[in-house]
Chain A
Amino acid sequence: MILEIFLLIAVSSLGAFFFGKHLAQSRLALAPVGGLSDRAHSLPGYHGYFAAWLVGLAGFAVAALGLAYPKLFNGGLLLALFVAAVGGGFAFSYRQIGAGFRARIQVERFVKGALLLCSGVAVLTTFGIVFSLVFESLRFFEQVPLLDFLTGLQWSPQTALREDQAGQSGAFGAVPIFTGTFMITAVAMFVAAPIGLLIAIYLSEYATKRTRAIVKPFVEILAGVPTVVYGFFALLTVGPAIRGFAEGFGFSVPTQSAIAAGSVMGVMIIPFISSLSDDVINAVPQTLRDGSYALGATKSETMTNVIFPAALPGIIGALLLGVSRAIGETMIVVMAAGRAANLTGNPFEAVTTVTVQIVSLLTGDQEFDSAKTLAAFALGLVLFVLTLVLNVIALLIVRKYRERYE
């Protein structure tokens, strides 16, 4: 049905284009010799576009009316309105089109409006995210006090399904989730920060052009691998490998553990850190390097004493962006970190994260008013705010640093 309406609008719009163009051609023509009159402001094509836009917009307006109030406008009435609107578009174009009509100006105005609307989509998305998260979170905090959510030590959302327990404090204490998230992030950064930085240093200072041209794309492949693939890798290969390794030392480690999920996540983050730091290191002026070499410093001494301090703000920015990635990553932890909310400091145990909880609260049966479902939005809000703050800080640091050398 919707497809048919769009087709109808497209066909009328196309018809209006040819109608407008031909009308303009005949009205703007110099009668005896052909060609356009020098009094004509716009080419015939623009008159065509003008008619097409007008008819198309009119058609859309009616269709939107029909979609918004399906009870009021439907069937014959809607069709009559549609015909009237499209006919009106044709009639208006018929009256306007002529040598003096500035069709191009009008069309360009339409185009700019449409482009502005396109940019509006991004703004609307942000508003949509903020409003949906805040609105649902407020409903959640009506049932569970904010303080209990942020400081409670016990997370067991299932209990809230029972009538008498709904909204009772204790069941929605998010501290174990936050500690789990931070632990996995820490493990990930423990892997990604040194390796990513060393790769950036090696590629920018030591590697030949050819090595760099070969290695860089391969490192970037790591960023292009879908996270569900990393999750399966952690579950199928890394988890059992860590368990086997630990058993060799007499420990028992579950396949799903913070260390398995965190280290695989670290691998995923390596390319973010290496390519961002690479840019930062390359942005350090060559004069600083040359000065250091002239004083007799080796490459490594130059790196650690001159370039690294100069690039430090940018590198910190890169690391913060890495942390924000790690916090928001979902599939790896869903598949490899476990679902039980353990309050533990041991990375060899299964922990849970904000994203894992959002997934497990929202997959399966949903009652939209239960605290259980709303809790997912509260966690989503925490996630959104946290990543937003990290990104803003990182961008500010990077921008400030960039200004220093420009």
Chain B
Amino acid sequence: MSAFESIHQSDRAVKRMTRRRGQELRFRLFGLGAVIAAMVVLAWLTISLVGTGYTAFYQHHMTLEVFLDEAVLDPTGERNAENLRKANFRKIIQEAIYARFPEVSERRQKSALFKIVSASGATNQVRQMAYANPALVGRTLTLSVPTSDDVDQLLKGYIDRDAPEKRRKISNQQIVWVDALKATGEIKSQFNWTFFTGVDSRDPELAGIAGAVVGSLMALAVAFVVSVPAGVGAAVYLEEFAPQNRFTDFIEININNLAAVPSIVFGLLGLAVFLNFFGMPRSAPLVGGLVLALMTLPTVIIATRAALRSVSPSIIDGALSLGASHTQAVFHHKVPLAAPGILTGSIIGMAQALGETAPLLMIGMVAFVTEIPSGLTEPASALPVQIFLWSDSAERAWAERTSAAIIVLLMVLVTMNALAIFLRTRLERRW
């Protein structure tokens, strides 16, 4: 055995090597563990949201024979709007349910029976039908009305039937009725269109995201119209035309700092400047859009500058050598070639704006809005704000809808980002 071998194969050397290899393995496993931990959290997030949210996409409805009793609704028989507006449609629904269970006579029991359907949901449904067509009064209609959220939750399996009656939101007797109705097919689950077409409501079974989605789209449109032209303009100026001086440096520092300012500070800016100084309306998508535009401006500027920088300088040189002016070379050649990058940056900026909540809270877009906003200055909500508002309610039915709204929001964001990536890979040119 040579001296050389003995150094590296002595017991101590072998031990040392084993220790070092162990260290190496442990280090590597730590790294892998961190990656796995991040993936696990992402999976946990997805599973917990989908798990609580998917049931909001269907909802139980009850088929009800409703007799539009003339004696209740329109005793004078005039069928005018005035009478119908005052009419007691609630009683119509009550009578319809009592008629389904003629054996129930006691008052407390009757009131429990009425709680199977969504009181305001069913009442509004019948009222709207009667308004639209007063000739229906006096006839019997077969309607599908939403059940109350407690019944819906019971049938979705979220209310423990074995729990003591007092700790349940639904009584033993009600469970018997609901099961009977379910067995005969009078209560059925169907796709929850209300969630996509409805607006915010105090009753979870009637609440939908349409109003918030429209509010978000309006704010996003304003943000897009303001921040993309201004951002692209600023980027083109800084990249192509700005002289090297203090003022240019100052603008650059400004933009970099703005990119790191917490979003809530933009909300404070909106409150102090747009609302208090300029007197713009509170809760309006116009103001929300402006605030989001200022917030996404740095993103658009930085992305556009990167896109402009990646265009080969030979393009500009070629244009200049053929006699184009500098402005012509930039606008006829460089900007069009950078367009895919600019577009990608803008989409990513808009995705960021769509998910933003905090600044909208500052300018009052947290109001309880029960109408689809019809204009840029009307009070409106936004999808993330709607999520925030619903998340505050403790009831299981709200948690379900919050998760469902989050699923919708995330799907839109994933689509936007996928579109950005697709455009980048599809349109990008390498030099």
**Which residues does A use to contact B, with CB under 8 Å?**
104, 108, 111-112, 114-119, 121-123, 125-126, 128-129, 132-133, 135-136, 194-199, 201-203, 205-207, 215, 218-219, 221-222, 224-233, 235-237, 267, 270, 298-301, 303-304, 321, 324, 327-331, 334-335, 355, 358-359, 362-363, 368, 376-377, 380, 383-384, 387-388, 391-392, 395
Contacts and interface: CB of A to CB of B under 8 A. Distances in A.
A365 B354 CA distance: 26
Contacts of A267: 38, 41
Interface string B355-385: 1111001101010000000000000000011
Contacts of A125: 254, 258, 269, 294, 297
B361 A363 contact: yes
A335 B413 contact: no
Given A112-B237, A112-B327, A358-B268, A119 B251 contact: yes
Contacts of B391: 228, 231-232, 235-236, 335
Interface stretch (B110-118, B139-147, B179-187, B403-411): B403-411
B233 interface: yes
Contacts, number: 245
A132 B294 CA distance: 15
Main DSSP-derived SS at the A contact region: helix
B388 A112 contact: no
In order of increasing CB-CB distance, the 3 nearest A-B pairs are A328-B262, A202-B31, A226-B355
28 contacts: A104-B325, A119-B233, A122-B251, A122-B297, A122-B298, A125-B294, A128-B269, A128-B273, A129-B268, A194-B34, A197-B34, A218-B39, A224-B351, A228-B406, A229-B355, A229-B410, A232-B402, A298-B24, A300-B23, A300-B26, A304-B27, A330-B358, A334-B388, A355-B262, A355-B264, A362-B362, A384-B262, A387-B262
Interface stretch (B44-52, B308-316, B423-431): B44-52
Given A115-B234, A299-B24, A359-B358, 14 more contacts: A112-B327, A115-B236, A116-B237, A222-B38, A226-B354, A228-B355, A228-B391, A236-B402, A298-B23, A321-B260, A324-B260, A328-B262, A330-B358, A359-B264
Given A126-B257, A136-B272, A391-B257, A226 B384 contact: yes
Interface in B247-291: 250-251, 254-258, 260-266, 268-269, 271-273, 276
Main DSSP-derived SS at the B contact region: helix
Interface string B8-42: 00000000000011011011101111110111011
Query: Which size bracket describes the interface of B in this complex?
Result: 35 or more
A248 to B, nearest CB: 19
Contact of B268 (A133, A195, A197, A301): A133
B263 A377 contact: no
Chain A CB within 10 Å, residue with most, of B260, B273, B298: B260
Chain B CB within 10 Å, residue with most, of A121, A205, A335, A362: A121
Contacts of A329: 262
Given A118-B234, A300-B24, A363 B366 contact: yes
Given A229-B49, A335-B388, A270 B276 contact: no
A115 B233 contact: yes
B261 A129 contact: yes
Nearest to A126: B254
B399 interface: yes
Nearest to B37: A195
B361 to A, nearest CB: 6
Interface of B: 20-21, 23-24, 26-28, 30-35, 37-39, 41-42, 44-45, 48-49, 52, 229-234, 236-238, 241-242, 250-251, 254-258, 260-266, 268-269, 271-273, 276, 294, 297-298, 301, 325, 327, 331, 351, 354-358, 361-362, 364, 366, 384-385, 387-388, 391, 399, 402-403, 406, 409-410, 413, 417
Nearest to B255: A122
A224 B413 contact: yes
A373 B26 CA distance: 53
Chain A CB within 10 Å, residue with most, of B49, B385, B388: B388
Contacts of B413: 224, 226
A397 to B, nearest CB: 14
A129 B234 contact: no
A202 B34 contact: yes
Contacts of A327: 262
